[in-house]
């Protein structure tokens, strides 16, 4: 894998040595935004086509052991499972995800039953299954020749009028004459379900929201928690309830023409299990052709307990990516933990995913006053040092669909908008409206999912890698650290205008070198084209807010890491401050010590306001 650079200085000149062999690094080139004509011609093609047709956790890493080496070292039982076994009685049943080299044989399943194990579900996006197994039998199960990894079935939690304009979705709508709205593209969301809402109802004879139940089996649409409905509105709301002649504000989703497939895999309290999320991903992959699923939104996650190479949820995300689905994941809401660095959730640490952090747009259309939301999780990921998030989008005080009577609606009713907040109707001004305001990276991710749907509608031939690469290249560049805001602020128009094709768009890994600097893999080599240089993706002003400057790779580093760099070092790197390098826990290869993500709706994760000191 190729490498280029982003750097931090270790206090006191502490030295650490890398444990991986990396290949060539390529220089940071000046980047160019995509040619504006790309979008213009694309919209023109779309217009002709339309006229003709109508008349859901994270990793903290060490000095970059290679993924393949890391996945094969040590026991096949994750640290979390080991801890659960030590704390359990011999006959206590533990829910574990067992990954096998291929689909488990009948002989293996018979051996599992002989050990007292009971299969909950057999997965299709990854080889393996989830089962409840006596604690005393876990070690023997791991020694079975068909078993590759045993992971804990970790609990997961679910993490617009101004934002719509801030990301220039309005400019796209106008430029396309209203034709670019995501139609023909299926967007699946694995979440708490979706309540039937006036803004999600479509004219008779056109596709309506599809509901799939992994948990709960009620007839029709349902969302007892209220998270999934809000997320669906950001993607697909058509603004019906705020578009009449009395309305002075309209709350509209990014891709109101897309087909939403609601995969309910989280319980009425907003929590669930990794196995249920994987089952939801399995369903999306299996049914992608039937429902034209090209985008998958996961506004959920759990802390990183193991490498993305063995994490079953990350592996399921990679399977969806390999199947042609753009997977958009919320970064997590743990930015208030410690320094905030190293708090990315799983599966947001999966390199193939589009990981989205949250910005506070200060309720203004201009981006000049936007700041990183304090709760937004920051990179690098634990265990593997993946450079995340990939970009950021508005996530604070986002107005979207209200799930009437849901947990969020009743517990945090003060966030429900009154009719007077968006309509001129004195008689009914104090009555409850059909929207409420929530905050979190859960709200930022669907902004990107909706944008991906527009990109695919304009050019259905795009692969997931190219969608991700263009999203990042087209983002508004800023001067924050890459581990804070990624490639920049979501720009819908910029993403549609960006050109270039990517064979791969895996988020690069970072390495802390003995000189106290942090080095990045070079995206130009990693993604297969010089178009995707670090400079074009992250911008050359990255980190200026912290006094970071571009710096040449020193001769001593080239000498020390000759085998790693193949004696070729990128002539430019980003020199970072010590906020990240001083956090020893980030660079020791340790997993998360959090019992669960702290930034969740049930403890105000979706109702973040100004930080209280």
184: left (phi over 0), alpha (psi -120 to 50) or beta: left
Of 241, 262, 357, the closest CA to residue 301 belongs to 357
Confidence of residue 444 (pLDDT cuts 50, 70, 90): very high
| Cα 551 to Cα 542: distance, rounded to the nearest angstrom | 12
Q: Domain residue spans in the chain? A: 7-34+500-582, 76-156
Lowest mean pLDDT, pick from 13-17, 115-119, 542-546, 558-562 = 13-17
Confidence of residue 156 (pLDDT cuts 50, 70, 90): confident
Residue range 105-137, pLDDT digits in tens = 999 999 999 999 999 999 999 999 999 999 999
Confidence of residue 336 (pLDDT cuts 50, 70, 90): confident
Q: CA distances (Å), 285 to each of 125, 230, 315, 505, in order?
A: 7, 24, 13, 20
Q: What is the pLDDT of residue 163?
A: 63
Q: How many CA atoms lie within 13 A of 471 on its CB side?
A: 34
**Mean local confidence (pLDDT), 215-243:** 90
| Cα 120 to Cα 315: distance, rounded to the nearest angstrom | 19
Q: What is the pLDDT of residue 57?
A: 26
Lowest mean pLDDT, pick from 243-257, 408-422, 522-536 = 522-536
Confidence of residue 375 (pLDDT cuts 50, 70, 90): confident
Contact 154, 166 (CB under 8 A): no
**Mean local confidence (pLDDT), 394-403:** 90
Which residue reads 């935004």 in tokens?
33
Sign of CA dihedral 241, 247, 253, 255: positive
Confidence of residue 162 (pLDDT cuts 50, 70, 90): low
Q: What is the pLDDT of residue 259?
A: 96
**Mean local confidence (pLDDT), 261-288:** 92
Examine the pLDDT at 606 and tell me if it is beyond 50: no
CATH T-level topology, domain 76-156: Alpha-Beta Plaits (3.30.70)
Q: Which residues are catalytic?
A: 191, 227, 442
Pick from 415-424, 560-569, 603-612 the range whose average pLDDT is largest. 415-424
Q: Report the chain's C-alpha Rg in angstroms.
A: 23
The more confidently predicted of residues 174 and 38 is 174
Q: CA distances (Å), 355 to each of 326, 420, 549, in order?
A: 11, 36, 26
No. of helices (H) and no. of strands (E), the chain: 20, 23
Q: What is the pLDDT of residue 589?
A: 66
Q: What is the pLDDT of residue 19?
A: 29
Q: What is the pLDDT of residue 547?
A: 60
* DSSP-derived secondary structure for 377-444: --SSPBBT-B---SEEEE-SSEEEE--TTSHHHHHTGGGEEEGGGTB--GGGTTSEEEEEEE-SHHHH
Which residues, listed in sequence order, are joined to residue 95 by a DSSP beta bridge? 132
Pick from 50-64, 210-224, 512-526 the range whose average pLDDT is largest. 210-224
Q: What is the pLDDT of residue 584?
A: 53
Q: What is the pLDDT of residue 50?
A: 38
**Mean local confidence (pLDDT), 433-458:** 94
Question: With pLDDT > 70 as the criterion, what percentage of the chain qualifies?
Answer: 72
Phi, psi values for residue 275, rounded to 5° = -60, -35
Residue range 18-58, pLDDT digits in tens = 223 232 222 222 333 334 445 555 544 444 443 333 333 22
Of 555, 608, 557, the closest CA to residue 440 belongs to 608
Lowest mean pLDDT, pick from 36-45, 153-162, 528-537, 599-608 = 599-608
DSSP conformation class of 509: B
Examine the pLDDT at 432 and tell me if it is beyond 90: yes
Examine the pLDDT at 466 and tell me if it is beyond 60: yes
The more confidently predicted of residues 83 and 60 is 83
Examine the pLDDT at 563 and tell me if it is beyond 80: no
Q: pTM for the full model?
A: 0.80
The more confidently predicted of residues 171 and 261 is 261
Q: CA distances (Å), 410 to each of 98, 160, 403, 416, 436, in order?
A: 39, 21, 10, 9, 11
| Cα 510 to Cα 380: distance, rounded to the nearest angstrom | 8
Contact 355, 329 (CB under 8 A): yes
Q: How many CA atoms lie within 13 A of 602 on its CB side?
A: 16
Phi, psi values for residue 223, rounded to 5° = -150, 95
Confidence of residue 594 (pLDDT cuts 50, 70, 90): low
Which strands, in side-by-side order, build the sheet including 271-273?
A: 271-273, 155-158, 300-301
Confidence of residue 254 (pLDDT cuts 50, 70, 90): very high
| Cα 309 to Cα 151: distance, rounded to the nearest angstrom | 12
Contact 392, 486 (CB under 8 A): yes
Confidence of residue 544 (pLDDT cuts 50, 70, 90): low
Q: What is the pLDDT of residue 334?
A: 86
Confidence of residue 449 (pLDDT cuts 50, 70, 90): very high
| Cα 121 to Cα 554: distance, rounded to the nearest angstrom | 53
| Long-range CB contacts for residues 561-566, cutoff 8 Å, separation at least 24 | 561/18, 561/22, 561/513, 563/21, 564/3, 564/18, 564/20, 564/21, 564/22, 564/23, 565/3, 565/22, 565/23, 565/24, 565/25, 566/23, 566/24
DSSP conformation class of 64: -
Lowest mean pLDDT, pick from 72-81, 199-208, 286-295, 470-479 = 72-81
| Cα 7 to Cα 549: distance, rounded to the nearest angstrom | 10
Which token pair is 240? 């019906």
Which residues, listed in sequence order, are joined to residue 261 by a DSSP beta bridge? 188, 210
| Cα 223 to Cα 400: distance, rounded to the nearest angstrom | 14
Confidence of residue 539 (pLDDT cuts 50, 70, 90): confident
Examine the pLDDT at 562 and tell me if it is beyond 50: no
| Cα 288 to Cα 290: distance, rounded to the nearest angstrom | 6
**Mean local confidence (pLDDT), 160-177:** 70
């Amino acid at each position: 894998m190729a490498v280029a650079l982003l750097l931090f200085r270790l206090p006191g000149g502490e030295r650490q040595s890398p444990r991986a062999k990396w290949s060539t690094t390529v220089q940071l080139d000046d980047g160019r935004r995509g040619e504006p004509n790309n979008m213009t011609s694309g919209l023109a093609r779309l217009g002709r086509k339309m006229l003709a047709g109508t008349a859901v956790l994270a990793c903290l890493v060490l000095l970059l052991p290679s993924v393949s080496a890391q996945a094969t070292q040590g026991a096949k039982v994750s640290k979390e499972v080991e801890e659960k076994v030590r704390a359990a009685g011999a006959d206590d049943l533990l829910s574990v995800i067992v990954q096998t080299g291929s689909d488990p044989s009948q002989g293996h399943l018979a051996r599992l039953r002989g050990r007292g194990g009971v299969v909950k579900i057999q997965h299709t996006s990854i080889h393996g299954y989830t089962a409840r197994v006596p604690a005393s039998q876990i070690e023997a199960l791991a020694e079975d020749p068909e078993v590759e990894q045993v992971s804990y079935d970790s609990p997961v939690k679910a993490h617009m009028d101004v934002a719509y304009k801030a990301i220039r979705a309005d400019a796209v709508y106008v430029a396309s004459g209203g034709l670019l709205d995501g139609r023909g593209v299926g967007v699946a969301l694995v979440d708490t379900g979706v309540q039937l809402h006036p803004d999600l109802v479509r004219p008779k004879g056109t596709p309506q929201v599809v509901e799939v139940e992994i948990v709960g089996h009620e007839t029709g649409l349902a969302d007892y928690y209220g998270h999934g409905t809000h997320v669906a509105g950001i993607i697909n709301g058509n603004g019906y309830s705020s578009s009449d002649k009395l309305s002075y504000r309209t709350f509209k989703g990014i891709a109101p023409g897309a087909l939403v497939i609601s995969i309910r895999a989280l319980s009425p309290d907003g929590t669930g299990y990794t196995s249920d999320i994987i089952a939801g991903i399995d369903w999306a992959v299996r049914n992608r052709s039937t429902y034209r699923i090209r985008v998958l939104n996961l506004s959920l996650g759990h802390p990183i307990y193991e490498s993305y190479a063995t994490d079953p949820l990350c592996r399921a995300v990679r399977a969806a990516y390999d199947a042609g689905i753009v997977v958009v994941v919320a970064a997590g809401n743990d930015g208030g933990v410690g320094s905030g660095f190293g708090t990315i959730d799983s599966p947001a640490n999966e390199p193939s995913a589009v990981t989205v952090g949250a910005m506070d747009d200060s309720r203004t259309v201009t981006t000049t006053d936007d700041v990183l939301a304090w709760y937004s999780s920051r990179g690098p990921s634990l265990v593997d040092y993946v450079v995340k998030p990939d970009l950021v989008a508005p996530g604070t005080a986002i107005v979207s669909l209200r799930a009437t009577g849901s947990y969020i609606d009743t517990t945090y009713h003060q966030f429900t908008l009154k009719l007077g907040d968006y309509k001129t109707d004195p008689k009914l001004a104090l009555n409850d409206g059909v929207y409420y305001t929530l905050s979190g990276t859960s709200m930022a991710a669907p902004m990107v999912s909706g944008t991906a749907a527009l990109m695919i509608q304009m050019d259905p031939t795009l692969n997931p890698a190219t969608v991700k690469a263009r999203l990042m290249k087209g983002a508004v560049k800023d001067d924050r650290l890459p581990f804070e805001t990624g490639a920049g602020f979501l720009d819908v128009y910029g993403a549609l205008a960006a050109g270039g094709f990517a064979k791969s768009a895996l988020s690069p890994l970072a390495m802390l070198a003995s000189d106290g600097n942090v080095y990045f893999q070079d995206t130009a080599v990693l993604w297969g084209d010089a178009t995707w240089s670090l400079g074009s993706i992250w911008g050359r002003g990255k980190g200026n807010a912290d006094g970071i400057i571009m710096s040449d790779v020193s001769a001593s580093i080239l000498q020390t890491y000759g085998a790693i760099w193949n004696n070729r070092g990128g002539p430019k790197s980003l020199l970072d401050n010590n906020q990240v390098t001083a956090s020893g826990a980030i660079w020791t290869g340790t997993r998360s010590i959090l019992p669960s993500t702290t930034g969740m709706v049930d403890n105000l994760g979706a109702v973040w306001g100004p930080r209280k000191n």
